[in-house]
């Protein structure tokens, strides 16, 4: 009942005029106290003169406080700016009283009610500042104490005693519903260790041990350091998780709402925070012009990459956005997401890129000017068993959409490729490399500019290693890794889609854009990090099992093929791969022959045709290695 009443009270705010009356009353009381102090706490002054001056002082006080707007503040959220306003208001009041006193002595004589002793005015000024601020802070503290007494409180530490740490502290202190109580700061700077900030002590990370945590009942640590090195972040989180603490992180300052941090923005550390490199951010004002009033079509729009591309495009002033995919359930989910956001001019179409006449019908109806081709089969082991399907979608589907794009004079066609297309060791990668070759062959054959983007694994995408590890952790393990030394380049879904959108704006046709994604990440290390992020220990709580390489799987991925090098673009993280010369007529002839194969064709014959097109395709841990031995 009490909690319900407090919640009801917490949603109400005092009238600003009531706050003004309260402040003016304090000024009046302080005026009497100033007289007492001036006369050594004896009533040796003319009471009648004081009574005559009191209304005049309170009226001037009201004018001063209204001028600075201090009465408009919410008392329970009193902050630094409110305190500054009170100080300014008190000084305006003192200045006006001094001015009126000077004028009254000059023109009205000593007995005027406007004639107030200068010492009393200065004493009054100091008392006003002290008691007006003190009253506000007392009410704020009392409110916080009462509300906190009736909700569960979690004791937290803030890692970082710098500017970001102080802003985090202020955000927690000003949010009475956060349920958090800051009991200490942690900092690497030895000069800060042992000192106090707002009466809260700064500790060294080594002082945070099991005894300290138990003594202070610590539950969470909030990391509040802007631009923290990911390796250092991993080290910190590892130490804190080993102590049974939950770890949260403050987002980058550019993502704060209106430049202010709220407690709701403080999130638990995620695996993408530990990529080993800074997040890649691309800000290009030309993108708005690229997509302004354009009809844009995305194939594979229900997939992880395709749907995120659609989300990012939806932020621009497009004319119409067409979502094409044959996965109708996933496509329905994306459609509902956009409908709930109230987005208009979005059409969702169930269609297969292998059906050329159907794709042609869609292009003829909507006349798209920009096409993002994300439709593809991507799972290496599955495509190793089904090369016909890989050829049909990854090559045939790309060929259909690209040919139709030329037919309908699309401005730009952006192919979403993969680092597995580089010196491929599996069917999936080889078919994506052939897709790259085909769009390269179309350069200059029409109005359409063909652009390829090539990047590594995407964190959190459908079927990727992160969701797999999460499921395995939920089941109690073990986590399965195919090889202890296997490494992959990683990026987040937003990073991948930023690259795709930037490539569309940057490309002039014929380029293969690759990302500088930093150092590759060992999957074994990723697995151990995820165990740690789950608050568990390796191998005590969850083990990691080495299962052996899957058919067609590489130990190390590459971003550039043999004979390729790169040239820089205006963005330091984006490069253009300089591809070797391609015999266009021969390549086109072989691709046409390959896509003409029917489902009765033997897998060995299909893969043999693929290898004839891609001489650098050497199978690894696969039944197709027999074809390499014949070379």
* Catalytic residue selected from 140, 192, 294, 420: 420
The widest CA-to-CA distance across the chain, in whole angstroms, is: 118
H helix runs in 443-536, sequence order? 465-474, 493-506, 523-533
How many beta carbons lie within 10 A of that of residue 570, not counting itself? 7
pLDDT over 90 percentage in the chain: 31
Higher-confidence residue of 22 and 173: namely 22
Residues in CB range of 615: below 8 A, 6 or more apart: none
pLDDT band, residue 11 (cuts 50/70/90):
low
CB 158 within 8 A of CB 169: yes
The pLDDT of residue 418 is: 87
| CA-to-CA dists, residue 127 to 31, 91, 466, 520, angstroms | 8, 11, 61, 64
Average pLDDT over residues 17-24: 86
Please provide the average confidence, as pLDDT, over all residues in the chain: 83
**200 pLDDT exceeds 70?**
yes
The DSSP code for 338 is H
From CA 292, how far away is CA 597, in angstroms rounded? 41
Question: If DSSP codes are grouped into helix, strand and coil, which group holds residue 334?
Answer: helix
Higher-confidence residue of 560 and 511: namely 511
Reported as a single tens digit per residue, the pLDDT across 349-407 is 999 999 999 999 999 999 999 999 999 999 899 999 999 999 999 999 999 999 999 99
From CA 309, how far away is CA 298, in angstroms rounded? 8
CB 205 within 8 A of CB 215: no
**6 pLDDT exceeds 50?**
no
The pLDDT of residue 538 is: 84
CB 574 within 8 A of CB 515: yes
Q: What angle do CA 385, 388, 394 make, to 5 degrees?
A: 100
Q: Nearest CA to 375 among 347, 361, 355, 345?
A: 355
The answer to whether the peptide bond before residue 539 is cis (omega within 30 degrees of 0) is: yes
CB 552 within 8 A of CB 564: no
Average pLDDT over residues 14-20: 80
**551 pLDDT exceeds 50?**
yes
pLDDT band, residue 462 (cuts 50/70/90):
low
- Strands 246-249, 267-268: pairing is antiparallel
Average pLDDT over residues 256-263: 60
Lowest mean pLDDT among 55-59, 180-184, 400-404, 577-581: 577-581
**Dihedral through CA 182, CA 186, CA 187, CA 193, nearest 10?**
100
pLDDT band, residue 504 (cuts 50/70/90):
confident
Reported as a single tens digit per residue, the pLDDT across 89-122 is 889 998 998 888 888 877 776 656 677 888 888 9
Tell me the CA end-to-end span of the chain in Å, nearest whole number. 83
Average pLDDT over residues 216-240: 80
- Token look-up 């970001």 returns 164
Average pLDDT over residues 431-443: 93
In angstroms and rounded to an integer, the radius of gyration of the C-alpha atoms of the chain is 34
The DSSP code for 576 is E
Most confident of 30-44, 78-92, 135-149, 404-418: 404-418
Query: What structural domains does the chain harbor?
Result: 2-147 (no CATH), 152-269 (3.40.50.720), 286-625 (3.40.50.720)
| CA-to-CA dists, residue 253 to 328, 503, 588, angstroms | 39, 27, 50
pLDDT over 70 percentage in the chain: 84
Residue 570 half-sphere exposure, CB side, CA atoms within 13 Å? 9
Reported as a single tens digit per residue, the pLDDT across 218-228 is 988 988 887 77
The pLDDT of residue 2 is: 46
Lowest mean pLDDT among 274-278, 305-309, 374-378: 274-278
Residue 566 half-sphere exposure, CB side, CA atoms within 13 Å? 16
The pLDDT of residue 3 is: 45
**259 pLDDT exceeds 60?**
no
Active site residue 420: yes
**408 pLDDT exceeds 80?**
yes
- Strands 412-418, 370-373: pairing is parallel
- Strands 346-350, 320-325: pairing is parallel
CB 508 within 8 A of CB 289: no
Q: Nearest CA to 268 among 458, 531, 533, 460?
A: 533
From CA 186, how far away is CA 341, in angstroms rounded? 41
The pLDDT of residue 1 is: 46
- Token look-up 């220990």 returns 537
The pLDDT of residue 384 is: 94
């Amino acid at each position: 009942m009490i909690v319900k009443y407090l919640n009801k009270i917490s949603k109400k705010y005092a009238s600003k005029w009531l706050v003004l009356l309260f402040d003016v009353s304090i000024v009046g009381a302080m005026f009497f106290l100033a007289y007492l102090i001036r006369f050594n706490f004896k009533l040796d002054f003319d009471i009648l003169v004081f009574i005559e001056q009191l209304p005049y002082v309170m009226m001037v006080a009201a004018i001063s406080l209204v001028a600075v707007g201090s009465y408009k503040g919410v008392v329970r959220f009193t902050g630094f700016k409110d305190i500054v306003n009170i100080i300014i208001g008190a000084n305006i009041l003192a200045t006006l009283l001094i001015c009126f006193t000077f004028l009254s002595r000059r023109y009205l004589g000593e007995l005027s009610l406007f004639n107030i002793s200068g010492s009393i005015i200065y004493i009054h000024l100091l008392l006003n500042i002290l008691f007006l601020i003190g009253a506000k802070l007392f009410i704020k503290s009392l409110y916080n104490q009462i509300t906190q007494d009736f909700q569960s409180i979690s004791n937290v530490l803030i890692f970082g005693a710098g500017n970001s740490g102080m802003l985090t502290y202020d955000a927690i202190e000003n949010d009475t519903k956060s349920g958090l109580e800051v009991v200490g700061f942690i900092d690497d700077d030895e000069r800060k260790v042992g000192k106090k900030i707002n009466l809260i002590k700064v500790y060294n990370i080594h002082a945070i041990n099991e005894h300290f945590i138990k003594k202070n009942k610590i539950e969470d640590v909030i990391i509040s350091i802007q631009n923290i090195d990911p390796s250092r972040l991993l080290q910190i989180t590892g130490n804190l998780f080993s102590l049974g603490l939950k770890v949260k992180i403050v987002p980058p300052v550019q993502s704060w709402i209106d430049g202010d941090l709220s407690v709701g923005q403080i999130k638990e550390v995620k695996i993408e925070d530990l990529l080993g490199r800074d997040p890649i951010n691309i800000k290009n004002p030309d993108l708005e012009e690229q997509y302004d009033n354009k009809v844009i079509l995305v194939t594979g729009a229900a997939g992880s990459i395709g749907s995120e591309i659609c989300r990012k495009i939806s932020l621009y002033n497009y004319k119409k956005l067409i979502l094409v995919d044959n996965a109708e359930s996933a496509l329905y989910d994306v459609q509902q997401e956009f409908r709930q956001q109230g987005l208009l001019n979005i059409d969702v179409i169930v269609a297969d890129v292998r059906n050329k006449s159907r794709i042609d019908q869609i292009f003829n109806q909507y006349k798209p000017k920009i096409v993002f081709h994300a439709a593809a089969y991507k799972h290496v082991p599955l495509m190793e068993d089904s090369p016909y399907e890989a050829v049909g979608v990854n090559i045939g589907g790309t060929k259909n959409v690209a040919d139709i794009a030329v037919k309908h004079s699309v401005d730009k066609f952006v192919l979403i490729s993969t680092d597995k297309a580089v010196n491929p060791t599996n069917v999936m990668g080889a078919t994506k490399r052939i897709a790259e070759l085909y769009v390269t062959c179309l350069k200059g054959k029409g109005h359409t500019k063909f652009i390829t983007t090539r990047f590594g694994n995407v964190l959190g995408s459908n079927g990727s290693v992160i969701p797999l590890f999460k499921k395995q952790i939920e089941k109690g393990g073990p986590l399965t890794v195919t090889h202890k030394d296997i490494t992959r380049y990683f990026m987040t879904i937003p990073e991948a889609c930023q690259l795709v959108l930037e490539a569309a704006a940057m490309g002039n046709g014929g380029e293969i854009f690759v990302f500088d994604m930093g150092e590759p990440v060992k999957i074994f290390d990723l697995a151990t990090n995820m165990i740690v992020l789950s608050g568990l220990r390796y191998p005590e709580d969850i083990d990691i099992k080495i299962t052996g390489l899957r058919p067609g799987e590489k130990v190390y991925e590459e971003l550039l093929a043999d004979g390729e090098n790169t040239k820089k673009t205006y963005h330091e993280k984006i490069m253009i791969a300089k591809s070797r010369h391609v015999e266009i007529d021969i390549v086109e002839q072989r691709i046409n022959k390959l896509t003409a194969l029917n489902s009765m064709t033997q897998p060995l014959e299909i893969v043999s045709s693929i290898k004839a097109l891609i001489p650098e395709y050497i199978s690894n841990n696969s039944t197709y290695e027999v074809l390499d031995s014949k070379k």
